[in-house]
Amino acid sequence: MKHWAKIAVAASLLFAGAAHAQTQTGFAAPVESSIQSVLPRMIAWRRDFHEHPELSYEEVRTARIVAAHLRSLRMEVRTGVAQTGVVGVLRGGRPGPVIALRADMDALPVTEEGELPFRSRARGTYNDQDVGIMHACGHDTHVAILMAAASVLAARREEIAGTIIFVFQPSEEGAPPGQMGGARRMLAENVFGDLQPEAIYGLHAWPAASGTVTMVSGPFMAGSDRLDITVTGSQTHGAQPHAGIDPIVASSQIINALQTVPSRQMDAVRSPVIVTIGSIHGGVRYNIIPQTVEMQGTIRYLNPETRDELYERIRRTITETAAATGATAEVTITENAIPTVNPPALMARTRAAAVRALGEERVLTGLPVMPAEDFAYFQQAVPGVFFFYGVNPPGVTPEEAAPNHNPRFFVHEPAMETALRAMVAVALDRVSE
């Protein structure tokens, strides 16, 4: 009760008071009018970014537009953080905590399908291949939403009790081989400077009903690792397998044995796991048993506490299955992202702020999902909450909608307003006196 009373008092300055809790918006009039006035620009920014997508660590144009906008709001702006990242600092007129808001900026090597008037025709080079480029994960909307939130919050600068850091991150989708991803690299380059945020927030477009946000407490998105396996046998004639060691038969047994890691070796409830082999290459001719087979895959898991055990079981299953056939296997696991876990207490506070702004019926709970998100690294450094906003047009179910990374991934633009309101609400919850 005490906690709630405190929130109600703290919120009275920038939120509509308790008496108006049932009003349509949940925001005080000046904030509401800032939101209304930024909406058309938010959509225009989004369409511009959508038409001009840029691959990971190539977000030069996007970063330039973001930096110019933050400067126009009289923020302290740093560019070139993690190559193409942009950081803006908004210092409020009153003392208070430091918080951070994060958006990712990169697009994907996907050729856009569909008939949007602002669809992407951009092309580029990825892995030495000529590719179409598309914002197929909705990061164009993330950038536009955070730019709009910056406008709304900068307009209330004098009333803000604290400091807000706006983090525009490059390369979320996966760095080129051998390079660090955007979140890790921003942290390595001291993204927050001499400020220490007490909370960081991020959001993502997701195929759910527009007008809603989904907030999950605890493990929310999976850890993701790359798995590389080389199985080495002994080359021989296809008609004389006993004269060699067959790495193809060994590999087929390894693939099957790996499926016992999630289903028979790990606790299915406490530690949900996926092991997928996505690529297998070996041999050149139908009647030669080759020397080696190369496999690549991905490991997904939700429970950070069981990661070491999981790795151990995967390695052992591969090497000992290979050994049983007389082959040897070399296993390399490369960390891609750790699990995104929303701390329950911080999530409860965040949800309460979102409910005040959007209404209970628009703030959904949900289940964790197995895609990964490098926002998790910010959560390692700062308590953080990550949530989804639904982007499906009315009448389109999650099953019917094109998933993220699909060439027909589609954002129903009015959904961005809900995301903006949620972002502004969770920020104001921390920096209102």
Choices 129-137, 175-183, 268-276, 287-295 (CB under 5 A): range interacting with Zn ion? 129-137
- Quote the least distance from Cβ 170 to Zn ion, whole Å: 13
Is-contact 205 141, C-beta < 8 A? yes
Active-site hit among 54, 59, 106, 140 = 106
Q: Which residues, 6+ apart, have CB-to-CB distance to 21 below 8 Å? A: 356
Q: Which runs of consecutive H residues, i.e. helices, occur in 88-242?
A: 139-154, 182-188
* 137 part of the interface to Zn ion, by CB under 5 A: yes
Choices 133-141, 190-198, 318-326, 332-340 (CB under 5 A): range interacting with Zn ion? 133-141
Question: How far apart (Å, rounded) are the C-alpha atoms in residues 122 and 139?
Answer: 16
* 134 part of the interface to Zn ion, by CB under 5 A: no
Question: How far apart (Å, rounded) are the C-alpha atoms in residues 197 and 164?
Answer: 8
- Quote the least distance from Cβ 139 to Zn ion, whole Å: 6
Question: How far apart (Å, rounded) are the C-alpha atoms in residues 129 and 113?
Answer: 19
- Burial group, residue 204, by CB count within 10 angstroms (0-12, 13-18, 19+): buried
How many residues touch Zn ion under the rule CB under 5 A: the total is: 1
Choices 2-10, 33-41, 136-144, 149-157 (CB under 5 A): range interacting with Zn ion? 136-144
Is-contact 74 84, C-beta < 8 A? no
Closest CB to Zn ion belongs to which residue? 137
For 95, the 3-state DSSP assignment is strand
Cβ proximity to Zn ion: between 16 and 137 the closer is: 137
Question: How far apart (Å, rounded) are the C-alpha atoms in residues 344 and 346?
Answer: 6
Residue 292's CB: how many other CB atoms inside 10 A?
18
Cβ proximity to Zn ion: between 66 and 137 the closer is: 137
* 411 part of the interface to Zn ion, by CB under 5 A: no
- Quote the least distance from Cβ 108 to Zn ion, whole Å: 7
The beta strands (E) that lie in 82-198 are given as 85-91, 94-104, 123-126, 129-132, 161-169
Query: Is 172 a known active-site residue?
Result: yes
Cβ proximity to Zn ion: between 135 and 430 the closer is: 135
Retrieve residue 188's tokens: 């390595």
Choices 25-33, 135-143, 192-200, 235-243 (CB under 5 A): range interacting with Zn ion? 135-143
Cβ proximity to Zn ion: between 70 and 137 the closer is: 137
- Quote the least distance from Cβ 11 to Zn ion, whole Å: 31
Query: Is 106 a known active-site residue?
Result: yes
- Quote the least distance from Cβ 104 to Zn ion, whole Å: 6
Residue 245's DSSP bridge partners are 234
For 104, the 3-state DSSP assignment is strand
Question: How far apart (Å, rounded) are the C-alpha atoms in residues 375 and 359?
Answer: 26
Cβ proximity to Zn ion: between 103 and 420 the closer is: 103
- Quote the least distance from Cβ 205 to Zn ion, whole Å: 8
Retrieve residue 109's tokens: 């090597």
Cβ proximity to Zn ion: between 280 and 369 the closer is: 369
- Quote the least distance from Cβ 52 to Zn ion, whole Å: 18
Choices 132-140, 208-216, 254-262, 332-340 (CB under 5 A): range interacting with Zn ion? 132-140
Question: How far apart (Å, rounded) are the C-alpha atoms in residues 381 and 385?
Answer: 12
For 246, the 3-state DSSP assignment is coil
Active-site hit among 172, 173, 373, 374 = 172
Cβ proximity to Zn ion: between 122 and 137 the closer is: 137
Q: Which residues are catalytically annotated?
A: 106, 172
Residues binding Zn ion (CB under 5 A):
137
